[in-house]
Every structure is written in C-alpha cells, then in structure tokens.
Amino acid sequence: MTERFDVWQYLPNDWHEKVGDNLSAEDAVKLAHSYTTRPAAQIGVIRMVRIIGLDDDSVCFEWQFGKGVTFK
C-alpha cells in the first residue's frame, strides 16, 4: 500500500483548511511548494503549510512564514 498525505494551510487567527486530500507523496510536495511560494505566503497571509501523513497523522513537512522549512 502506498502512503498518502493531506496538505493543510494555516492563516492568521488560527484559521486553517485542508487544501489537498489523500495525495501521493509527489503530489503533496508539489502542492505544498505551490502554497509556500504564493504571494499570500510571501507577505505572511499564509502562516504555515503542513504535509500530514494519513497513516499516523504525523507532520512530514512544515513550512512557516519567516522561518522557511522546519522539522519536528
């Protein structure tokens, strides 16, 4: 079975939404990259982007405004 991923974006005031559902690793990375390079991310409207593994709810990738890619 191939691992699948969700992609989430986090905005000000703790508002967040799933922007990609049940994606392959390649598609999740492409989508996350697109969210981290959008104008909204460059000015801080998008505060964080995460790739979450569906198998165990683990954070596989995290980008934060002003910090770049972080790992937990």
How does pLDDT run across 42-52, given as a tens digit for each residue? 999 999 999 99
Q: What is the pLDDT of residues 26-47, one digit of tens each?
A: 999 999 999 999 999 999 999 9
Closest CA to 16 of 72, 68, 66, 59: 59
Percent of the chain with pLDDT over 70: 96
**23 — phi, psi (to 5°)?**
-95, 155
Sign, CA dihedral 16-37-53-19, equals positive
- Structurally, how many domains does the chain consist of? 1
pLDDT at position 57 is: 85
Tokens of 63: 């980008």
Q: Provide the sign of the torsion angle of the four alpha carbons 25, 64, 52, 20, taken in this order.
A: negative
| Global pTM value | 0.92
In which domain, by residue range, is 47 found? 5-70
